[in-house]
Structure 1
């Protein structure tokens, strides 16, 4: 939190982010050192009675990197980039950082925000797609946090969440440029395959995500199709084909999850005679553990073992086109809340995702979600 009072009239009077007093970048969280690994994993599975012996197996992924997840550093980098993007627009609204499962915890960040006088917050969730784990769990987390802070401080924060942005032009453009660069690093003139990758989820969660719109799977299929459309002209005959694969499957082996795993896909491609592969992590906006371990470590080692030449495209959050687009989405939302905003067009055939406020917020209890009807049975 900056030392500046984010709710001062001077700050908000002419701000393109008015009526918001602050922006909260809300993410999952991850350990910063070896001693953090087991406590972090206990926090993640709190209430699920999972023994430490099972958590230690997962913890080995983090211990390969000194116990430090890349996610916190990635988010701090994104905040710095967003700060610069807003500064270029003469917007000085503070950007805060909070996590569901590790320091800085959301409740601590928002407690400090309240002390500075902020009352209305725009939340940016570090997930581009809609699913229970990628959107609704964050809304539930915010609702619990807001309720707890109201009981503690007597202050009820007014919190909105930026709409999902998987089909925003800037997110797609960032992935297009990342794929172009990765393809240019493979042997010149040789054919290649683009293997798009995202985080696997249970099939039942995928089905539920489509209760009010495209499913999680369909969202990724749209992004993959749009990226392919943008690069296929320049790749020409080099492009042998594309596919969508998954990583980071967990949970019971008896529960069906979205498949195939990226390593299984690489086996299929090798059997088909493919020699060069671009691995494009369109499901992630930053190099999380799922990227640096599942893709850069496991999948890369497997590709080397079976004799495939692979290049991993960068994630969108590293790229200036994405950062600038995200800044514009925040300014758009603020203008809409002031009653005179225009919407950035979405790309592809899917509709624009709606503006949302967290469950149990004041406005949702009143029967609307930022001006839109509340949809019963929302399972995303």
Structure 2
């Protein structure tokens, strides 16, 4: 039997925001009780005909991770060359390659320790494919929805995916709609912004003025963007369910005393001080999850994965865990709150470094979202709402960071905002 989105019939216009979230959570709860484990594989939907607005490309944007240890060097080279993610100033072209070469042997060993490569591509493709199957039923007018995954630093790279879109019949005078769906739920110029900058760059190179004699061509891919979703009910419910499952593993008399440590990838303080919204949006996710849990446990937000010579946002996850254990608080549940699947930061940094060093059976990690059925239903609900809204991006995306001076960021935002909203971009 084809899956149906349990959130599809809910209307934000008919309910207050808080009531909608409560109703959505209840609906997801009832639905999830009928299913467990990874999302059930669904037979491909056969369309009698392409919808009136279809086909639609659904392009998941993410950082990516090396598939094998042999890919680590190239992955780090691209990562440290990206000034949006790791700003190294005027010495970026010198320091980036230097840092990546020095770190490659260490990072190769880390990927070897988690099985020889990152699972992020497997999970990203799975999530996108399952979401598209649901969208074909939820939004038949824009079907078929074709899944694509575009990574920033490793295959499938953005330029490869853009060329694949062109080869598959989008653009090149034929038009067609594509949705860039960031898989960073909380917006940052270092993550979503960097991925959109890269997408915009290759759009210009492959089907923009650059390949059409300086004139904007007709029939190009029509893009819209899901640029942030930190408090979407499906995301919040999926996190909350996973936390509840972990809490249930503690003895009942200790359960309410477990400290919940939400851990997110850190950012350089130079990025935060420029006005990047990431820290605030991560905090919004944490608050929404705790609200769903009725604030059942004490909690803190901490930060991981600092690299480079400059100050980063803290407190660090590793220091936080070590300090709590030293003080006698040995029941700690780590929640990777800014990640949508397992990768090196969860499987090695949290599991094999932070938890191992804590040396306490009460320090555990909450399961990542991965193939979580509630999460994938939430993705489909979010995408369906976006497709029906006819909005090109959120209003928040029209604002740059207060201290931003990047012309590339300005022009990218103007492009994705579209002609009607471009004047709002500041």
Q: TM-score, normalised by structure 2?
A: 0.72
Name the residue aligned to 1:347: none
CA distance in structure 2 between the aligned counterparts of 1:269 and 1:338, rounded to whole angstroms:
46
Q: Secondary structure at the match of 2:306?
A: coil
Which residue does 2:301 correspond to in 1?
A: 244
Q: Distance in 2 between matches of 1:136 and 1:291?
A: 23
8 Å CA contact retained: 2:351, 2:365 = yes
Partner of 2:80: 45
User: Contact (CA 8 Å) 2:65, 2:120: kept in 1 or not?
Assistant: yes
Q: Is 1:335 the counterpart of 2:388 in the alignment?
A: yes
Question: Given the superposition, is the C-alpha separation of residues 144 and 78 from structure 1 closer, same or farther in structure 2, using an over 3 Å criterion?
Answer: same
1:162 and 1:355 in contact (8 A); partners too: no
Residues paired across the two proteins, number: 341
Residue 313, structure 1, aligned to residue 366, structure 2: yes
Q: Structure 1 pair 318/216, CA: closer, same or farther in 2 (3 Å)?
A: same
**Cα gap change, 1:365 to 1:242, in 2 (>3 Å):** closer
**318-327 or 147-156, larger mean C-alpha shift:** 147-156
Q: Equivalent of 1:180, from 244, 265, 275?
A: 244
- CA–CA separation in structure 1 for the residues paired with 2:182 and 2:416: 24
Q: CA deviation at 1:19?
A: 6.1
Could you tell me which residue of structure 2 aligns to residue 138 of structure 1? 195
Runs of 4+ with deviation above 6 angstroms: none
Quote how far apart the aligned CAs of 1:159 are. 2.0
Distance in 2 separating the partners of 1:256 and 1:352: 31
DSSP-derived class of the 1:23 partner: strand
- CA deviations 1:278-332 (Å, max 9, x no partner) are 111111111121111111111110222xx35122112334322221122122222
Q: Counterparts of 2:420 and 2:362 in 1: how far apart (Å)?
A: 48
Per-residue CA deviations over 1:84-117 (Å, capped at 9, x if unaligned) read 3224435421111221222212212221211222
Closer/same/farther in 2, CA of residues 366 and 243 from structure 1, 3 Å limit? closer
Q: For the Cα contact (< 8 Å) 1:30–1:69, is it kept in 2?
A: yes
Unaligned runs of 5+ in 1: 344-350
Say if 2:61 and 2:181, in contact at 8 Å, map to a contact too: yes
Distance 1:352 1:374 in 2: 9
RMSD: 3.1
TM-score (norm 1): 0.80
Query: How far 1:355 sits from its partner (Å)?
Result: 7.8
Residues 7-156 of structure 1: pairs in structure 2 closer than 5 A:
10-13=49-52, 18=53, 21-46=56-81, 47=93, 48-50=96-98, 52-89=101-138, 90=140, 91-119=143-171, 120-150=177-207, 151=210, 156=220
TM-aligned CA distance change 1:104 to 1:368, over 3 Å? closer
Aligned twin of 2:318: 263
Q: 2:414·2:421 contact (CA, 8 Å) conserved in 1? A: no
Deviates more, 1:366-375 or 1:191-200: 366-375
